[in-house]
Chains A and B, each alone.
Chain A
Amino acid sequence: MSEILDLTAAELAAAVAAGEIAAVDATRAYLDAISARDRDIRAYNETYPDEALARAKRIDADRVAGKNIGPLGGVPVALKDNLCTTHGRTTCASKYLADFRAPYTATAVAKLEAAGAVVLGKTNMDEFAMGSSTENSGLHATKNPWDVGRVPGGSSGGSAAAVAGRLCAAALGSDTGGSIRQPAAFCGVVGCKPTYGRVSRYGLVAFGSSLDQIGPLTRDVKDAALLTQIIAGGDPADSTCLGDSVPDYLASLDQPIPNLRIGLPREFFPNNNEALRPDVRAAIEKAIEAYKAMGAEIVEVSLPHSRIDVGDDGAISSFAVSAYYIVCTAECSSNLARFDSVHYGHRTKQPVEDIVTLYSRSRAESLGQEVKRRIMLGTYALSSGYYDAYYNKALKVRRLIANDFKAAFGKCDVILCPTTPTPAFRLGEKTANPIEMYMADIYTISLNLAGLPGLSLPVGLSDENLPIGMQLIGPVLCEENLFRAAAMYERARPAQWLPPCAN
């Protein structure tokens, strides 16, 4: 059975389609792995063994009957717990939604299921996707499969840990400021945040509506291209979803990009060990050398408004991080206003006399500290007298950040940089200091503000044997080039790293 767990989603789909592996056996192999190992990693909030096996059985029957079982026929996948599904619960890892059963299924999930995927369960996350370590989960913490003393990153930490820990073949996550790419880097898997609007957000519980995007976490680049292909495309249920046709990402994947021009933003290679750890820098530089050896041209570009500043006291700051946290907290305060304990969700058991106390007490009892902090920050930033100084200012800086990228893409096809300044940190290391935690997303955040696609892929191991991620960034709707450029590196990469628990 261990061979099943070692296959990529594309390999497993091919084996199921060819009748070499039964979908039921693949599903059972993953369910067994979850029973055996998820008590240590705790990637899942909930699993659906009976439904998954029943579905796998139907897929096997369809195959025998000669029906098309789809490009992911029989492939067991995991879903971040902020994606609505009519089976099971959709909790967003919040006590507020602990018993919530969604009345509809997210478009991305429906597309994945229509392609034949078998949903194993829902994965843990920072509550409402607010966090960078999955420690803000209102349910439990998830551990990094490489070292259970460390965080898997976040907020899609459960999905990243499940893929790395061989507890699913592939997973979906969501990315508002780095929440797919940063955990992918920390767990040594591939994570892709498509262009804003490439994938429908219908059924994704909203956090920052102008920033949120659903994307895959996978074993390799081909799986990321395959899953993106399946979930991308227009959706009448999401008016911000782009109707542009989806290119065939797999058709060109194996073709190297001739004369590939890679931009290195000088601001993303700071000479400071806190802002970029030396072993992370060394791994990225090695990857750049590999691209050079393949004939890529390296050009220097500049992203001045995404630059990383280090103060005299060593404190790290960034225009992009500041602008991002104003925009995302403003949007979050508005989006989370719907949690009113009237229509669904937690309601206080204490007797209350009036409706404002009902709202305020129910929310106080069921929301975590980071969520409260962000709702309050956003409420303040949008409040009368402060709107121009904070929210409007942030939107102007957002334009400057987007313009920097536009200018940079005049000189290069893709931009290359680290995904994170350090490898996975220890559980508890950053929970006391919100700003320090916010800086974990310093390399990923500006893409969400600009709406650009980004992909993180593993490029090496740190001094303490933890995975290091490299981020590739493309212009709007240029996912195809990102996958091709990432696949070029992946083919040239010396070895495939597997987390210790995989064997």
Chain B
Amino acid sequence: MSTRIDAELVRHIGKLSRIELTDEEVSAFARQLGDVLEAFGKLQELDTQNVEPMAHAVELANVLADDAPRPSLTTEEALANAPDRVENFFRVPKVIGGGA
């Protein structure tokens, strides 16, 4: 498997990850991500054609709970750590019609 990671791809991954990157970070991550992906490539040595993927360590199915109301955070508790709030809302820059 090709594991070549160039600056353009690092910038693309950074965008998907919602992390702004400096030029220094782009070149450092291009090298480091390439190295790690090469190490990941080791798994291709194994034949896994008839193996079922295992997403959970101890597999449980259908853990059900009663659909009953119970106490949860108050509005004040939920907003207590907000970096910016107005009344009972989290404030963010304009979303609709904005740059993104």
B42 touches A319 (CB 8 A): yes
Judged by a CB distance under 8 angstroms, whether A325 is at the interface is yes
A333 touches B17 (CB 8 A): yes
A363 touches B18 (CB 8 A): yes
Query: In which size bucket is the chain A interface?
Result: 35 or more
Chain A proximity mask over B27-63: 1 for CB below 8 Å, otherwise 0: 0110011011101111111101001111111101001
B91 shortest CB reach to chain A, Å = 9
**Which residue on chain B has the smallest CB distance to residue A99?**
B81
Judged by a CB distance under 8 angstroms, whether B93 is at the interface is yes
A355 touches B32 (CB 8 A): no
- If the complex has contacts A372-B25, A377-B36, A451-B57, are A396 and B42 also in contact, measured as CB distance less than 8 A? no
A203–B35 Cα gap in the complex (Å)? 34
* B43: chain A residues within 8 A (beta carbon): 319, 322-323, 326, 393-394, 397
Judged by a CB distance under 8 angstroms, whether B8 is at the interface is no
**Which residue on chain A has the smallest CB distance to residue B35?**
A435
- If the complex has contacts A342-B83, A355-B92, A358-B93, are A393 and B48 also in contact, measured as CB distance less than 8 A? yes
Q: Count residues of chain B with CB under 8 A from any CB of chain A.
A: 55
- Among B44, B58, B78, chain A packs the most CB atoms within 10 A around the CB of B58
- Among B10, B37, B77, chain A packs the most CB atoms within 10 A around the CB of B37
Chain B proximity mask over A95-114: 1 for CB below 8 Å, otherwise 0: 00001110110000000000
A340–B84 Cα gap in the complex (Å)? 12
* B93: chain A residues within 8 A (beta carbon): 352-355, 357-358
Interface segment among A132-140, A180-188, A236-244: the answer is A236-244
* A363: chain B residues within 8 A (beta carbon): 17-20
Chain B proximity mask over A393-419: 1 for CB below 8 Å, otherwise 0: 111111110100000000000000000
- Interface residues in A354-404 by Cβ distance below 8 A to B read 354-361, 363-364, 367, 369, 372-373, 375-377, 379-381, 383, 389-390, 392-400, 402
A408 shortest CB reach to chain B, Å = 16
- Among A333, A352, A397, A450, chain B packs the most CB atoms within 10 A around the CB of A397
Judged by a CB distance under 8 angstroms, whether B80 is at the interface is yes
* A103: chain B residues within 8 A (beta carbon): 73, 77-78, 80-81
B32 touches A373 (CB 8 A): yes
Judged by a CB distance under 8 angstroms, whether A302 is at the interface is no
Chain A proximity mask over B56-75: 1 for CB below 8 Å, otherwise 0: 11101001010000000100
* B44: chain A residues within 8 A (beta carbon): 389, 393
Main SS of the interface on chain A?
helix
Judged by a CB distance under 8 angstroms, whether A48 is at the interface is no
B60 touches A240 (CB 8 A): yes
B20 touches A361 (CB 8 A): yes
A331–B64 Cα gap in the complex (Å)? 24
* A375: chain B residues within 8 A (beta carbon): 17, 19
Chain B proximity mask over A428-443: 1 for CB below 8 Å, otherwise 0: 0000001100100000
**Which residue on chain B has the smallest CB distance to residue A242?**
B58
- If the complex has contacts A210-B56, A242-B58, A393-B43, are A376 and B29 also in contact, measured as CB distance less than 8 A? yes
B16 touches A354 (CB 8 A): no
Given A196-B56, A345-B83, 14 further pairs, Cβ under 8 A = A195-B58, A239-B60, A242-B58, A305-B46, A319-B43, A321-B39, A340-B18, A355-B93, A355-B94, A377-B36, A379-B13, A397-B43, A448-B57, A451-B58
**29 A–B contacts from the bound complex (CB under 8 Å):** A101-B81, A103-B77, A196-B57, A236-B65, A242-B58, A318-B42, A319-B43, A326-B40, A326-B43, A341-B83, A343-B82, A344-B81, A344-B83, A345-B81, A346-B83, A357-B93, A358-B92, A372-B17, A373-B32, A373-B33, A383-B16, A390-B40, A394-B40, A398-B54, A400-B46, A402-B54, A434-B36, A449-B57, A451-B56
Taking Cβ atoms with an 8 Å cutoff, the residues of B that contact A are 1, 10, 13-21, 25, 28-29, 32-33, 35-37, 39-46, 48, 51-58, 60, 63, 65, 73, 77-78, 80-84, 90, 92-95, 98-100
Taking Cβ atoms with an 8 Å cutoff, the residues of A that contact B are 99-101, 103-104, 195-197, 210-211, 236, 239-240, 242, 305, 317-319, 321-323, 325-326, 333, 337, 340-347, 352-361, 363-364, 367, 369, 372-373, 375-377, 379-381, 383, 389-390, 392-400, 402, 434-435, 438, 448-451, 476
Ranked nearest first, the 8 interchain pairs of A and B with the lowest CB-CB distance are A451-B57, A344-B81, A395-B53, A347-B83, A396-B48, A354-B99, A364-B20, A399-B54
